[in-house]
Amino acid sequence: MAVDRPTSFWLRLLKQRREHMYDETLDLSTPIDWESEEERQAAIAFFNAAFRAEEAGLRQAHEIAAEIAAWDPVLAETLRLYGDEEGWHRELLTQFLAWIGGEVRPMGRVVRTFYGLYGRAKRAETIVLVNLMFETIGATTYRLSLRTAKQHPAIRQMLTILTRDESFHVPLNAHFLRRILAHRPPSWLERLRLQAIYHGLSFAMIAIAAASRETAGRFDRLSFRALARSYTEHLGRLFVNAGHLGFEPSRLLLYLFGLSRADLEGGDDALSAAAAERNADRSQVVVEAL
């Protein structure tokens, strides 16, 4: 199990990242030679989905920061800086979408339903649990897409920035969840509610993976099974290696994708301080696909 660091550790990293955040710009000097209009439209759909995730993260992080400031001002400042990073991603994605001839579009039915439910969440522990799971899914999607999507410098740079930062946001949100649960330990009924949200969202991620194949599949070139299995594996590994959080992956989902609990134990620890510091380094703008 990864040893959590104090909030001051995370705040220090976020402040360091912020110093150079706006110095990092996209290199859009080389036009993209799309294989087809369908591939370009799929790229627009892919980066629209990324935009919506960042937009939701920004809004919710700033909202709960105002609430948490009453009992932990340092944690609240850390949340605000995290929300600012999500807002910076939204700015980059807006610029990138315009460059590839796209725009921010209305959400599809499945994604709209999910964000509608997420937007109505009011409890800090619910919001942070959803953020933690969604950051894990985001980092997984972007990392896989670095391998399979069109190998163009601007696309790789955009995907690398998202991969690097979402990977840093995973242990950061795990810290948020630990601190919030420690401040107000949930009752058995509240724990059951969180378990229901966790399992419901685990299955919802599979539905989102299926829905995205029709819109974004021609861009990221990932099959439904490859994407859904990776979601199940990485979410499962996250919570198996953070057993103190109290969430256990669905045996049904593991079975459906040929995984076992033993497959998830050990391996790379996404919640470790070393992983956080590695992914916090903004000087590494372009890296090799993992």
Q: Given pLDDT bands bounded at 50, 70 and 90, which one contains residue 112?
A: low
pLDDT of 245 = 83
pLDDT of 288 = 43
Residue 268 has pLDDT above 70, yes or no: no
Mean pLDDT of 172-193: 93
pLDDT of 107 = 62
Q: Given pLDDT bands bounded at 50, 70 and 90, which one contains residue 74?
A: very high
37-279: CATH superfamily: Ferritin, core subunit, four-helix bundle (1.20.1260.10)
Comparing 55 with 158, the larger pLDDT belongs to 158
Q: Percent of the chain, pLDDT > 70?
A: 84
Domain limits of the chain? 37-279
| Range with top average pLDDT, 58-67, 207-216, 217-226 | 217-226
Residue 237 has pLDDT above 50, yes or no: yes
pLDDT of 109 = 61
Mean pLDDT of 270-290: 56
pLDDT of 31 = 95
pLDDT of 5 = 86
| Range with top average pLDDT, 61-65, 116-120, 192-196, 220-224 | 220-224
d(CA 112, CA 152): 30
pLDDT of 272 = 58
Q: Percent of the chain, pLDDT > 90?
A: 66
Rounded to two decimals, the pTM is 0.89
pLDDT, tens digit (0-9, with 9 covering 90-100), for 126-151: 999 999 999 999 999 999 999 999 99
Q: Mean pLDDT score of the chain, rounded to an integer?
A: 87
pLDDT of 286 = 43
CA 249 to chain centroid: 18
